[in-house]
Amino acid sequence: MIIESGGDLLNDDAQALVNPVNTVGVMGKGLALQFKRAFPEVFDAYAKACAAGEVRPGRVFPVSLGEGRWVLNFPTKRHWRGKSRLQDIETGLDDLVRLAGELELTSIAVPPLGCGHGGLPWAQVRSLITEKLGGLPAEVRLYGPGTPGPPAGAARHRECRDGPSPRR
């Protein structure tokens, strides 16, 4: 089930938080930088995996936070200087579906993958996310770009219905 969410994704209590990353080991802007600051151990594992060539487009790199919680590093860009490719988002979502089953995830918080610094149009990305993740047994909490949030430290959720995304 897809749930429209707003607020700070990092404060979401989902079992897995999706972190949009590049494949060169840099978390220098946007949400990735926030993840780096919030979870330095995730950054360390990700940077080592990038140096070893283990982080590639289309492959989600999971890092355990313990107690059944995960950060799922999702390559949205090949290099931090480049733009995102819709094909990389699509293949990454396929891998996220595989991983969600493997890890038996019950809830996943997903940002607007490849939008923002990646330059992809939200309407296309949202459609792909809904198509690929909508059938998961997990609750998928979808954070759109620029969604106004509730007070600091909170997250809010609303079930998504078929049709266009509601305006806020």
Active site residues per annotation: 77
CB neighbour class for 82 (10 Å; exposed up to 12, middle 13-18, buried from 19): middle
Pairing of strands 155-159, 139-143: unpaired
Q: Give, as one character, the DSSP assignment of residue 66.
A: E
Amino acid letter, residue 24: V
**Separation in Å, CA 86 to CA 76, 100, 115:** 9, 21, 10
Residue (of 71, 93, 95) closest to 84 by Cα position? 93
Is residue 5 a contact partner of residue 142, using CB atoms and an 8 Å limit?
yes
Residue 93 CA, distance from chain mean position:
9
Measured CA angle at 149 (ends 159, 28), to 5 deg:
110
